[in-house]
């Protein structure tokens, strides 16, 4: 635990300078956005009258770029301000699970589900919830499925309820759900998705990633503590990550293993991940993939660290000393009616996860 803290604290000083630059950029971008809105309002009538919509499309594209920049700055800054203790004191990990020595949980295996980038709050969409209910009914009695982990915020709640930015996200959600203009609804939905996509990118980054991954690992460990988890009784923690949640799972696995003092296993479902994270001490990683999943296939190209052409990356070095287990499901796509949460493929994905849980348990070293 001391070693993991030292690794993360080593990034603290390098982030401070970047944070000051980001604050300056945030102010500048805000000013430019206000100027741009004023220009659009003044010239919108003439643009429409002349029939030249190209300029209007250009301005709209510019607004999207500006909004994306703002969301990106927010995503990086929020991790920094939490780390610096500006919102609240940084949680101390040294006392984790101390009070659980007597009240140990009856469960020995803890499955933690990390959702994809569509997640906007701690509750899951109906299809995902039905999938989790199916998984919960199939796992062994000594296993506990931990749901509701918001993988893209640093606190225990979703964006809508985060104390440090509640006012902004509540307004954004309200506009997304109730605004009469479809373009405004699109921009708001785009911001929410962009925040989560950027968080996935931050997790894979070698500079900022360790800070965010430590925060998420600590968040998961504190949730396990509330569930009476104790290292002396638990056999393992299994991170099940869907889509971008796979990156969050792989990024936090080794840190979480040190915090929990228990083996951590990773199972990705249609996973999109970089392979940059350190996995030396992780013994079991499995992938549930669809034969018609273009998003996961593109993720492998977007993150060249997983390509065999780069043998010295963390992912390829791990594969040389460990066995990666793949469970391919024919005709399954990434989402929608042919995705892993659909009625057609839900039970097949659950069966693949259960097979991996049994395989890794049988193959685990005794004692």
Asked if 124 contacts 145 with a C-beta cutoff of 8 angstroms, the reply is no
Q: Is residue 280 part of a domain?
A: yes
CATH number of the domain within which 307 lies:
3.40.50.1820
> How far lies 349's CA from each of 37, 43, 269, 298, in Å?
47, 53, 8, 21
Indicate the number of domains in the chain.
Answer: 1
Cα R_g (the chain), whole angstroms: 22
Give strand pairing partners of 269. Answer: 242, 288
For 162, counting Cβ atoms within 10 Å of its Cβ (0-12 exposed, 13-18 middle, 19+ buried), the class is: buried
Q: Is residue 183 part of a domain?
A: no
For 365, counting Cβ atoms within 10 Å of its Cβ (0-12 exposed, 13-18 middle, 19+ buried), the class is: exposed
Q: Which two tokens stand for residue 188?
A: 């708001």
Q: Is residue 266 part of a domain?
A: yes
Helix (H, G, I), strand (E, B) or coil at 64: helix
Query: Kind and range of the H or E element at 43?
Result: helix 12-50
Return the biggest CA–CA distance within the chain.
Answer: 78
Q: Is residue 48 part of a domain?
A: no
> How far lies 240's CA from each of 90, 132, 219, 328, in Å?
26, 11, 16, 16
Q: What pLDDT shows up at residue 367? A: 45
- Taking phi over 0 as left and psi of -120 to 50 as alpha, with beta for the rest, 117 belongs to alpha
The 8-class DSSP code of residue 248 comes to H
> How far lies 274's CA from each of 114, 187, 202, 301, 304, in Å?
16, 27, 11, 10, 8
For 58, counting Cβ atoms within 10 Å of its Cβ (0-12 exposed, 13-18 middle, 19+ buried), the class is: exposed
Q: Is residue 138 part of a domain?
A: yes
Q: Return phi, psi of residue 110, to 5°.
A: -120, 115
Contacts with 132 (C-beta within 8 Å, 6 or more apart), sequence order: 113, 124, 145, 147
Q: What pLDDT shows up at residue 156? A: 60
pLDDT in tens, the chain (367 residues): 455 455 445 555 555 555 566 666 667 766 766 666 565 555 555 555 555 566 666 666 666 666 656 656 665 666 565 655 555 555 677 788 887 777 778 899 999 999 998 876 667 888 999 999 999 999 999 999 999 898 887 766 556 555 556 666 677 777 777 778 887 777 777 777 777 888 888 888 887 788 889 889 999 999 999 999 999 888 999 999 999 999 999 999 999 999 999 999 999 999 999 988 889 899 999 999 999 999 998 888 888 888 888 888 999 999 999 999 999 999 999 998 999 999 999 999 999 999 999 999 876 654 4
Q: What pLDDT shows up at residue 333? A: 96
Of the candidates 289, 244, 292, 291, which has an alpha carbon nearest to the alpha carbon of residue 270?
289
Q: Is residue 77 part of a domain?
A: no
Q: Is residue 346 part of a domain?
A: yes
Residue 57's Cβ-side half-sphere holds a number of Cα atoms within 13 Å equal to 4
Q: Is residue 42 part of a domain?
A: no
Domain range for residue 245? Answer: 107-156+198-361
Distance from C-alpha of 328 to C-alpha of 285, rounded to nearest angstrom: 14
């Amino acid at each position: 635990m001391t070693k993991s803290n030292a690794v993360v604290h080593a990034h603290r000083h390098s982030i401070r300078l970047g944070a000051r630059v980001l604050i300056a950029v945030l102010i500048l971008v805000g000013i430019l956005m206000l100027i741009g809105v004023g220009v659009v309002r003044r010239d919108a009538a003439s643009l429409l009258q002349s029939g030249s919509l190209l300029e209007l499309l250009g301005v709209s594209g510019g607004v999207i770029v500006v909004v994306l920049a703002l969301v990106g700055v927010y995503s990086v800054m929020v991790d920094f301000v939490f780390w610096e203790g500006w919102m609240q004191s940084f949680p101390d990990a040294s006392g984790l699970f101390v009070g659980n020595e007597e009240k140990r949980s009856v469960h020995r295996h803890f499955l933690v589900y990390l959702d994809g980038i569509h997640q906007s709050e701690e509750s899951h969409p109906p299809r995902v919830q039905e999938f989790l209910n199916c998984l919960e009914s199939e796992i062994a009695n000594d296993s506990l499925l931990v749901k509701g982990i918001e993988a893209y915020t640093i606190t225990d709640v979703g964006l809508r309820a985060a104390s440090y930015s509640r006012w902004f996200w509540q307004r954004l959600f309200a506009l997304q759900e109730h605004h009469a203009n479809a373009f405004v609804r699109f921009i708001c939905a785009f911001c929410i998705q962009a925040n989560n996509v950027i968080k996935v990118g931050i997790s894979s980054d070698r500079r900022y990633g360790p800070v965010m991954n430590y925060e998420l690992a600590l968040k998961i460990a504190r949730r396990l503590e509330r569930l009476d988890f104790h290292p002396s009784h638990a056999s393992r923690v299994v991170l099940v990550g869907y889509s971008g949640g796979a990156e969050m799972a792989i990024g936090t696995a080794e840190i979480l293993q040190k915090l929990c003092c228990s083996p951590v296993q990773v199972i990705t479902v249609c996973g999109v991940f970089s392979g940059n994270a350190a996995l030396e001490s992780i013994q079991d990683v499995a992938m549930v993939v669809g034969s018609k999943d273009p998003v996961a296939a593109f993720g492998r190209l977007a993150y060249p660290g997983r390509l065999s052409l780069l043998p010295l990356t963390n992912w390829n070095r791990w594969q040389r000393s460990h066995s990666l287990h793949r469970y391919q499901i024919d005709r399954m796509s990434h989402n929608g009616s042919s995705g892993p949460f659909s009625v057609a493929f839900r039970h097949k994905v659950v069966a693949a996860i259960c097979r991996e849980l049994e395989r890794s348990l049988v193959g685990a070293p005794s004692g």
